[in-house]
Every structure is written in structure tokens, then in C-alpha cells.
A and B are shown apart, each in its own frame.
Chain A
């Protein structure tokens, strides 16, 4: 556990220095502030517009960190050969993967925290405190999604170049969001190949739509505790599966 924390701390220290990350955080905060003006030109929908734009901006920031910084993480260590100093030390390769994932998750949580605080301040100034709870739940859901994407990008980062890893993770992202709708569409088709093919896609790729409650939040609705617990369990199972396969690949990798 100590080794995992050591790697996680170092990953956090490395990623928060990334200028791209700081630019993304800055852009997200700017979007949240700009929604104040966009909201003010709409009549009675002002708060909904602020909430809708802002939680989407926070979500985009999380996805950006997971896909683009995650895709670079392992590859950079291989390319720069910094791994040559770590791998021969008494540390399991699996601990490195878990540490890297935790470090980047901590980075995501940190940037999410800053942008969420800005959003809550905006709402507080406007006197719209009723949205705070739903926003926090929505941010929690999107954080779960970003953790899965971090693991997917780490897997690809350990087997291919950052560009290929980003492309593959983006593909996972889109398929993950479209798979439930596609499955529903193809369920009615007469073609067995299409129907069964879609079923395979649906059960292989993570169903990322499970983490999307942004539309509900805009109307102040919250998912039930059962749904939330099921979603957490789903994320956990998928995360363990992703860690398992990334570790299996990484363990056998030659440097």
C-alpha cells in the first residue's frame, strides 16, 4: 500500500505541473463564469442555463484529464526511460498501475473541486442554493466515469503511443455512451448478426450513460440511493476488471 501511495503522490505531483491541465482548468472556470452572462440574457431559465453549461464544462474537464493526460502517463515514463529507475526496485508492477491511476484520479478530483467551488460560488451569489445537492451528485457520477476512462487510457497508454491511446479511449468513450441506445435500436432488428453483435458491444464496453445524470440535475432531480449504489458497484467491478487486464499486460511487458 505504501508503494502505491508513493507512486500516486508522485503522479499527482507530476500531473499538476502540466500546463495543459492548468489551461483546461482555467478554460473550465472561464466557461462557468461566462454562463453568468449567458444566463442573464435568458428570461426565467437563467439558473438552469448556468447549471447546465457549468456541469458540462466540469464534465469536459474531467474527460479531458482522463483521456489526454491519462494517455500520456505510462508512455511518457517509457519514452523518457524514467521507468528504468523504478521497475527494478522492489515494487510490484501492479502497484505502479494502481498508483498511477490513483494519482491521476487525485488530479481529477482536485481540478473538479476547484471548478465546482467556482460554480457553487456563482450559485451562492445568485441565491440559488437548491441546486447544490444535485450538482454535487452529478459531479460525483461524472468523476466515476472519469475514473473508468483513466483506467482505459492507462491500459492503452501501456501498450501503444499517446495518439493511438487517445484515439482508442475516445472510441471507448463514444461507444460507451452510445451502446445502450444502439442496443435498444438493434434489439428490434431482424438480423441476428446485428442483434447479437450489438449485444456483445453492449456487454463488452462500459455503459457510460449510467454516469450521465446531467439532464436530471438541471431540473433538480436526483437518482435514488439504490441507483447510486448500483452505479458505484458497476464502476467498481469494471475498474477492477480494467486494472486486472492492464496489470496482466504491464507485468509481461519488456522495457
Chain B
């Protein structure tokens, strides 16, 4: 059974309709699996995740999550989303922000749920501190907390490990693996390939809006040194086919 089904989705913006940021992509992601969407900066990862969570709409094609449209409020109750470098209301405390989010989800046992979520992301000690005083790692964890406060069935994470030190990354990875063990379907955008191998069941490599390949990390790495080598080689080959200028040394 598939949780997420993307069929022939393309995206271009009205200001520049000629340029397609996402080009005719199709994906089916199984329920309870962890999917990694990997690609260089500007590949179309964030544009795709934005369409998946209803922040933007496809120009062509369709997206179904649990057979519903991404902006269906019934579906949104079951979704979690952590954007890249999440931005918060700086004047609120971590607790107040989660209280705000909890009320949007109509969560009944607010206090209990907030405490539990803060504990899960190891932010309980900072719950009464203003968000403006949080470090980058704490902000990422708060971003994750607001995404999992509703115990989502499907979780979208946009570069959750970006800009974190090794310790911070290990903490976030631990949380993701914990959610995976609970059966949450997870969609991760990332370009940190070492973590992808560890966390994901399936990955797709995207470059310039096109999906180049989809498969399990181990299958994709076959014939290459590792996933990173596979990633770089595949992207270079595709760019060569397209006649793009290649990066020196690769």
C-alpha cells in the first residue's frame, strides 16, 4: 500500500513559466517506509516537498497522500512537516510555540503532549526560554517537535540535518529512526549522503527537476564505491547528456 503517490508532476512559476523547476516526476512511496530525496542544491527537492505539504500547487500532474489532496484538512491532521531552517515567532518560548501548534491540531491533552514531545527532542530544559535564545541545533529540534506533536502518520523533513554539528545530527537521526520503528512514513530531502544510507529504505536522485534513478541505497551503490560515488557519477553523466558544463575535477 502506498502512502504517497506523485504522478507526472511538473512545477513552473508564473513569473517564468518556461522554466520548469520540477519536470514530470512520478513516485510511489510505501506506507511505513523512509524515503530519501537526494540531489544537489537547486535540484527541485524543496519545490517538490512544498507541493507535497500543500504550500504550493503543481502546474501539471497530481499528488495523492493517503488518497487525499495535500491541502485536505483531514489529511493535514495526519501530516508533519519540518521546513529547511524552520523560522519561528522569536518572542515566544518553545513551550508557547508548541501550544500554538497544538491548538491548530485541536490536540486535547496539550500540556501532556507538549511535555512528551519536548522530552522526545530533548528540549524540555529549554521549554520556557524565548526562541530567540535558541541555538541552531535547538531550533532544528523545535522544528522537529512541531512536526511530530500530532503523532503524524506521514512526516516530511526538508534538510533536517543541515547545518548541525555531528552531535546534533546524531540526535536528530536517533529521533528519525525512532519514528521509523513506530511505522511512520518519512520523506526526507537531503544532500548528506552518509545519513541517507543509514536511515532510508528507498532513495531517488533528482537533478535539475528530473528524477534520475530510484531504488534502495544498497542497490544504487552497486558498481560504485559508495552512494556518494553513485550520486556524483549519475549526475555528471546526466549533465553530460544534457550538454551542461561539468564541475572541474569530476
Contacts and interface: CB of A to CB of B under 8 A. Distances in A.
Given A2-B106, A84-B55, A90 B88 contact: no
B73 A92 contact: yes
B100 A255 contact: no
B81 interface: yes
A88 B106 CA distance: 14
Interface string B1-42: 000000000000100000000000000000000000000000
B50 to A, nearest CB: 7
Contacts of B79: 88
B104 A87 contact: no
A162 to B, nearest CB: 17
B88 A85 contact: yes
B104 A90 contact: yes
A20 to B, nearest CB: 15
Contacts of A252: 57
A3 interface: yes
A90 B73 contact: yes
Interface string B221-238: 000000000000000000
A207 B57 CA distance: 37
Interface residues of A, number: 23
A85 B86 contact: yes
Contacts of B106: 2, 90
B56 interface: yes
B93 to A, nearest CB: 12
Contact of B91 (A14, A87, A91): A14
A252 B59 CA distance: 12
Interface in A215-255: 252, 254-255
Interface in B62-77: 73-74, 76-77
B234 to A, nearest CB: 30
A90 to B, nearest CB: 4
Interface string A61-97: 0000000000000000000111111111111100000
Interface string B83-96: 10111110110000
Interface string A87-123: 1111110000000000000000000000000000000
B83 A84 contact: yes
B116 to A, nearest CB: 19
A17 interface: yes
Contacts of B101: 85, 89
Contacts of B86: 81, 84-85
A85 B56 contact: no
Interface of A: 2-3, 6, 10, 13-14, 17, 80-92, 252, 254-255
Interface of B: 13, 50, 53-57, 73-74, 76-77, 79, 81, 83, 85-89, 91-92, 100-101, 103-106, 143, 146, 156
12 contacts: A6-B100, A14-B91, A82-B87, A84-B81, A84-B83, A85-B83, A85-B86, A85-B88, A90-B77, A254-B55, A254-B57, A255-B56
